[in-house]
Amino acid sequence: MNLLAPRRQLARAREAVERVTDPELPMLTLADLGVLRGVDVVGDSHVVVDITPTYSGCPAMAAMRDDLVRELTGAGFDRVEVRVSLHPAWTTDWITPAGRAALAAAGISPPGPAPSTHGPIPLTLLPTARQVRCPRCDSSATELVSEFGSTSCKAHYRCTSCLEPFDHVKEI
Amino acid sequence: MDSHIHLSAEDEHDSAYTGLLVNDAHWAFGTDFEDPLAGVDTSIPEGTDAPTLAAYALMLGDDSLVMSHRISEWTSNAPDLEDDIALSNIALDLLGQARLLLARAAKADASVVPALPEGSPAPPEDALAYFREAHEFRNVRLAEVVNGDFAEATVRVLLFSVWRLAVFERLRTSRDHVLSAVAAKGVKELAYHRDYAARWFVTLAQGTEESRSRLLAALESLWPLWPELFDTHPVEAAAAGAGVGVDPADVREDAEAVLDQVLTAADVTRPGKPRRSGVLGRTGRDGMHGEALSRLLAEMQSVARAHPRGLW
């Protein structure tokens, strides 16, 4: 067997996986969202993909799996195994710079740095203080409507300059 | 049969018909992500008794599942859209945690999984959720009591998540890789749940006379179930002793301190009501539940039980 073949197979698998986007944030690839944890070709045409959920109950996992299977099967892999990797837990810090730019371009405010989750997590009784700019008019005059938005990973904000509501990917 | 719909390669990705042309029938009452723990190290930590680990995971999983179901009953019923979405999100996070914890219990000791009707494709975690009787559930009773008004939901989520977050903060160092991973992820979610409820607690307490009186009534009604959260069941003691679990008695001080912060900010004093007793000393962790759980399970389980081979 050609020694370069496994490497070519891996490149082909990566290329196929690179086409898969998040079902709820379709402007982001799984890699940009940081949920893609690994791609490995283990046999002649057997590929293993590791993904991690954003939130424990993320209903998008099954759709991601189906999309990965479809792209990889389409790229000629006979056996596609999608595994869920729980550890380490996903953090918004894994969203790539390209992913953040894509979110902002789509009118979704990207997350700031994730808070430390070592030790006890202090109670915060005031609305989470964030420097959130309106993704439409770039005003910093924004207010939090709810920490829970249209999907598990987003908070709901409102711009008090242009009055438009918008989503903010919350830091975890 | 050959399809008469022909799609070019480019069209295929965007076509709504694509999914209809393949046989993707799956178990009708779950997410069908074959094994939620695939790729996770599920070996039993050395020196740990597998049935103890399974029983412990089942307790935590049942708390999450029953609490999730109760909170999900708020969907489309909350006072406004934002809180409807918030409560639905909280229920979803808890359901996700429940799935992993029940799957962990099944993986550690397959004998905890009830036998399914022949041909049922239900995965083990769904078998545990849908095919057990009320007395087999090990959740704390705070999770199961019937919903009241929005103030009641606020107090329930606050008490549950203050306690649960304190437990999960410690469970992050569990020697069991699944429990530590579930906890590490769960603390981030529970911190949002706790702070959401804590803010509403203060808001309602400092709001109108009506909102304050409803909040105090809710606190009064749920308060007798708070001490049960810190009882140590022998399974929890054994799991803590083996370094895989947390003895809830150990988190009492941390949890009470956080709760006191909220009560102080809200200018509310601790109710004096005594704890709700068990039946001959048996409480939720022993499988002793109120009628509320039976009704909850009847609603949650009946469709899956009527169609144990259900595919769609």
Note if the bond before B114 is cis, omega within 30 degrees.
no
Does A79 fall in a domain? yes
* Structural domain contains residue B71: yes
CA atoms within 13 A on the CB side of B104: 33
Residue B156 lies in a domain: yes
Identify all chain B residues contacting A56, using CB atoms and an 8 Å cutoff: 93, 96-97, 99-100, 182, 185-186, 189
The domain that holds B226 is classified in CATH as: 1.20.1260.10
How far is the C-alpha of B49 from the C-alpha of A40, rounded, in Å? 34
Residue B133 in any domain: the answer is yes
- Give the burial string for A49-74 (b: 16+ CB within 10 Å, else e): bbbbbbbbbbbbbbebbbbbbbbbee
A3 to chain B, any CB pair closer than 8 A? The answer is no
Structure tokens that stand for B152 in this block = 């009641």
Phi, psi for B154 (deg, rounded to 5): -60, -50
Locate B41 and state its tokens: 């190290």
Number of domains in chain A: 2
Query: What pLDDT, on a 0 to 100 scale, did the predictor assign at position B8?
Result: 47
Contact residues on chain B for A121, CB-CB shorter than 8 A: 165, 169, 187, 191
Residue B252 lies in a domain: yes
Domain for residue A99, yes or no? no
Check B192 against A89: CB less than 8 A apart.
Answer: no
Of B83, B184, B254, the CB nearest to A120: B254
Is B132 part of any domain? yes
**Count of domains in chain B?**
1
Asked whether A119 and A106 are in contact (CB, 8 A), the reply is no
User: Which residue from A55, A66, A150 is facing B93, i.e. has the nearest CB?
Assistant: A55
Strands (E), B121-277: none
- Per-residue exposure over B48-82, b if at least 16 CB sit within 10 Å of its own CB, e if not: bbeebbbbbbbbbbbbbbbbbbbbbebeeebeeee
CA angle B10, A60, A29 (to 5 degrees): 50
Tell which residue, B92, B95, B100, has the closest CA to residue B37. B100
CATH code for the domain in which residue A31 is found: 3.30.300.130
Cβ neighbours of B269 (radius 10 Å): 10
**pLDDT digit string (tens) for chain B, length 312 residues:** 344 444 444 444 555 555 555 566 778 887 655 678 877 889 999 999 999 999 999 999 999 999 999 999 999 999 999 999 999 999 999 999 999 999 999 999 999 999 998 888 899 999 999 999 999 999 999 999 999 999 999 999 999 999 999 999 999 999 999 999 999 999 999 999 999 999 999 999 999 999 999 999 999 999 999 999 999 999 999 999 999 999 999 999 999 999 999 999 999 999 999 999 999 999 999 999 999 999 999 999 999 999 999 888
Residue B16: the pLDDT is: 55
Determine, yes or no, domain membership for B59: yes
Is B29 within the bounds of a domain? no
- Per-residue pLDDT, B6: 45
Domain span holding position B249:
49-306
CA dihedral A163, A164, A167, A171 (to 10 degrees): -30
Q: State whether A75 and A145 are in the same domain.
A: no
Domain ranges, residue A154: 107-112+127-169
- Tell how strand A46-51 and strand A79-84 pair up: parallel
pTM, rounded to two decimals: 0.90
